[in-house]
Amino acid sequence: MTHTPPPGDDQTPVPDYSRLWRLDGRVFLVLGAGQGIGRQTAHALSQAGARVVCVGRRAGPTEAVAREVGGTALMGDANNREDMQRIAAEVMQRFGRLDGLVDILGMPRVKPLVDFTDEDWNWQFDMSLRHAFLSLQIMGPLIGQAGGGAMVFVSSTSGKVISSDRAPYAASKAALQQLVNAAAIEFGPMKVRVNAVAPGLVLTPRVSTTIPADTLAQSAALYPLGEVGTPPQIASVILFLASAMSAHVNGQTLFAEGGVTGRSPTYATSSARPPRA
């Protein structure tokens, strides 16, 4: 529903902004939906009206999230071409269309660059990039056939700023951001938007169990907001990029990191003071 203004200088119709985030009836794949950002994204898309297909390698968590959101669970390895082709065929058979995809997959292998083996290097780039390449190549045209839609990938602030012992991870995430940029140009004529979100440190279940509490507290102190991110905060940005709220956003990496990448290391240890009244 639009609002037509009375005669005046600006006659541009005003859209119903409260409806632009709705995804009613649209079919979305979520790769890595079983926990953390993926689980929250499945809920965000479902609450916006989308029919959510949860994809994962582990049946238990993937099926559990699918039940939570009233969606569908499909098992498969997103880095395997045959699995992705099978998933695409199952989606088309069940729903007859695909309107969007969110790819959550990725993790770092943390060690000094000089200690990386060839296997480590190949694993890291597969973990960051291969599933994105297959998603774009196999799922992107299907979204175009449905009349267009959105593809959202999860990158990292590591694609812009460097943490120690993560050089290949940083390189792979920077490559993912360039892949998103290039794919947006190629897929634009199909009305398929391709974007990424780059979180900083996010308090996912995996992070909570692998990083000591005192280290998390030290990290949070470096963030201008005084806290690291949470999965719902990242899922909210993903919903924005998946919906018509971002209809003219394409080929971008949106940094959702609490402002930490803007902090100069010169003042990183300075105590924060509130602005004067």
Rounded CA separation 19/240 (Å): 12
Q: At what angle do helices 231-242 and 36-47 cross, to 10 degrees?
A: 50
Check residue 70 and give left, alpha or beta (phi > 0: left; psi -120 to 50: alpha).
left
Q: Would you please indicate which residues are annotated as catalytic (active-site) residues?
A: 169
- Give CB contacts under 8 A, 24+ apart, made by 269-272: 272/224, 272/226
Q: What is the DSSP letter of 263?
A: S
Q: Taking the CA atoms of the chain, what radius of gyration do you get in angstroms? A: 20
Rounded CA separation 28/109 (Å): 29
